[in-house]
Amino acid sequence: RTAIALVTRDLRVRDNPALALACANAERVVPLFVRDPTMPGGAVRWRFLDECLADLRGSLRDRGGDLVIRHGDVVAETLRLAGEVDATLVTVAGDVSSLARRRERRLAEECETHRIELVVTPGVTVVPPGALRPAGGAASYRVFTPYWRAWTAATWRDVAPTPRRLTLPPGLDPGPLPPPGETPGAAASARSAVGGEAAARRTLRAFLPHLSGYAQEHDVLASPGTSRLSPYLRFGCLSPRELAGVAAGSEEFVRQLCWRDFFYQVTAAFPRINRDPLRPGGDVWRADDAAFAAWRDGRTGVPVVDAGMRQLAAEGWMHNRARMITAAFLTKHLGLDWRLGAGVFFDLLLDGDVPNNYGNWQWVAGTGNDTRPYRRFNPIRQAYRFDPDGDYVRRYVPELSVVDGPAVHEPWRLGRDLRYPPPLRGPAPAAWLPD
């Protein structure tokens, strides 16, 4: 029997349930990735994806197999290949965005028509979205704490075995990898992460000694206190299930993985999360193109906000605390629509995905499942608290590198010409703004 293991957001050989299932049920297994040029996302993610593909191809070749790469529509290309190799089984990891679900539905229809068995496996989250249901019959948990309780009490699936050897059908052309740098503007910045399972495991190994300090360090903006594994989880270079097991010693860290699952199950129940507010009411914003451009380009005149936006542009990643500060600045201080900010993040983040990006944006904007939607963020108080020496700001805002210590957070108090703009004002008065 020949099976196609369709790889989408699970670009790894370790703990890959879809790949393991194909290997357990067929003598010949064709791992397939279809590079669909209409996939949403900015150039940095394409570059990262292509590095992931090269790495996965190498791992599969080491095991006697290969990664077949096709270009175009995922469903059409899968069916075409199934015809070429006479496959009777297709395996794929289930996913939750509306795009992914539409693809899954079409794939199911086509497989049925062509009498091919389709098996949708877990693999993108620790606990599959929809597996836990709140009492009362709602489709998903809307509040995090009860979800966390159910999630920690749930039995997680076993880690899937890593395939030792794969056999491909004879005469199969695996197709070329996209040449490096093919995507315009996608050259890797020196500061941005490299894609692939090997790089994911290096990053994990480097982080594990810091795990015990995670609870104290993860909010400190200038510290390497977080794992930086999010791009690898985004593309599935690392299994979230495996990671949750390895990191079980730090409840605070595992809790973050639960937040990730939380937003996946919200998205499964509410696929329009990237367009419509999760909670009706309060979704009213003003328009101000100049303020939006200043925010996007990191020149709001509020150092900690500008540092966050410039970190995003330089690294394709931003510290979680800075994401909260910059998102709150856009929505709560400037009064601009969360969809605008989420769109910028979605384009520039290596880890940008629908559930986490839009779920977190709605949480900050107060349109989501937050239980305290009217919380206000004072960016200056946040800056003193989470960047107490000002090192984070100096690292990303070179105009301010001449200012020592935490004074860097309020340059308007220094009375110096720093070639740095005055802070941007929003529609409402803010206690932290200079008079």
Closest CA to 158 of 25, 44, 15, 59: 15
Would you count residue 360 as binding ligand FAD (CB under 6 A)?
yes
367 forms part of the interface with ligand FAD (CB under 6 A): no
Judged by CB under 6 A, does residue 271 bind ligand FAD?
no
Least Å from the CB of residue 164 to ligand FAD: 29
Does residue 328 touch ligand FAD according to CB under 6 A? no
Q: How far is the CB of 4 from ligand FAD (least distance, A)?
A: 28
Whichever of 57 and 296 has its CB closer to ligand FAD, that residue is 296
Q: DSSP H helical segments within 172-302, as ranges?
A: 197-207, 214-217, 230-234, 240-246, 251-269, 289-296
Whether residue 244 contacts residue 252, with contact meaning beta carbons closer than 8 Å, is answered with: no
**Contact between 210 and ligand FAD per CB under 6 A:** no
Integer Cα distance of 294 and 35 in angstroms: 34
Q: Which of 228, 279, 395, 425 binds ligand FAD (CB under 6 A)?
A: 228
- Is 311 a binder of ligand FAD (CB under 6 A)? no
DSSP letter string, 312-367: HHHHS---HHHHHHHHHIIIIIS-B-HHHHHHHHHHH-TT--HHHHHHHHHHHHTS
Query: CA 28 to CA 1: how far, in whole Å?
Result: 6
Q: Does residue 323 touch ligand FAD according to CB under 6 A?
A: yes
68-103 burial by CB neighbour count: b if 16+ within 10 A, else e? bbbeebbbebbbebbeebebbbbbbbbbbbebbeeb
Q: Is the dihedral of CA 266, 269, 274, 276 positive or negative?
A: negative
Residues 218 and 180: beta-carbon distance below 8 Å: no
Q: CB of residue 352 vs ligand FAD: minimum separation in angstroms?
A: 4
| Sign of the torsion formed by the C-alpha atoms of 358, 362, 368 and 371 | positive
Instruction: By CB under 6 A, tell whether 327 contacts ligand FAD.
Output: yes
Measured distance CA(129)–CA(260) in Å, rounded: 11
Report if residue 267 touches ligand FAD, rule: CB under 6 A. no
Residue 294 or 364: the one with the smaller Cβ distance to ligand FAD is: 364
- Choosing from 79, 85, 107, 349, the residue that interacts with ligand FAD (CB under 6 A) is 349
Interface with ligand FAD, residue 256, by CB under 6 A: yes
Q: Tell which one of 263, 270, 386, 396 touches ligand FAD (CB under 6 A).
A: 263
Q: Using the rule CB under 6 A, is 260 a contact of ligand FAD?
A: yes
Q: Which of 253, 192, 259, 258 is nearest to 227 (CA)?
A: 253
For position 362 contacting ligand FAD by CB under 6 A, the verdict is no
**Among 50, 197, 351, 387, which residue sits at the site for ligand FAD (rule: CB under 6 A)?**
351
Q: Is 234 one of the binding residues for ligand FAD (CB under 6 A)? A: yes
Q: Which stretch binds ligand FAD (CB under 6 A): 4-12, 103-111, 290-298, 345-353?
A: 345-353
Instruction: State the minimum distance, in angstroms, from the CB of residue 311 to ligand FAD.
Output: 11
Q: Is residue 239 part of the contact set for ligand FAD (CB under 6 A)?
A: no
**404 DSSP 8-state letter:** -
Residue 163 beta carbon to ligand FAD: minimum distance, rounded to whole angstroms: 25
Q: Say whether 121 sits in a helix, a strand or coil.
A: strand
Residue in 33, 147, 345, 386 binding ligand FAD, rule: CB under 6 A = 345
352 binds ligand FAD (CB under 6 A): yes
Round to whole Å and give the CA distance between 325 and 300: 13
Give the span between the Cα atoms of 406 and 393, in whole angstroms: 9
d(CA 349, CA 11): 18
Where does this chain touch ligand FAD (CB under 6 A) — which range of 62-70, 184-192, 316-324, 422-430? 316-324
Binding residue (CB under 6 A) for ligand FAD from 44, 87, 257, 330: 257
Taking the complex as a whole, the smallest distance from the CB of residue 273 to ligand FAD amounts, in Å, to 12
Reading the block at residue 432, the tokens are 């932290």
With respect to ligand FAD, which residue has the nearer C-beta, 255 or 425?
A: 255
Exactly one of 19, 32, 74, 229 binds ligand FAD (CB under 6 A); which one? Answer: 229
Q: Are 166 and 65 in contact (CB under 8 A)?
A: yes
If the CB atoms of residues 91 and 357 are measured against ligand FAD, the closer one turns out to be: 357
**DSSP annotation string for 287-301:** --HHHHHHHHTT-SS
Give the SS3 label for residue 119: strand
Count, residues near ligand FAD per rule CB under 6 A: 27
- Smallest distance from ligand FAD to CB 61, Å: 29
Residues in contact with ligand FAD by CB under 6 A are 218, 226-230, 233-234, 256-257, 259-260, 263, 320, 323-324, 327, 345, 349, 351-353, 356-357, 360-361, 364
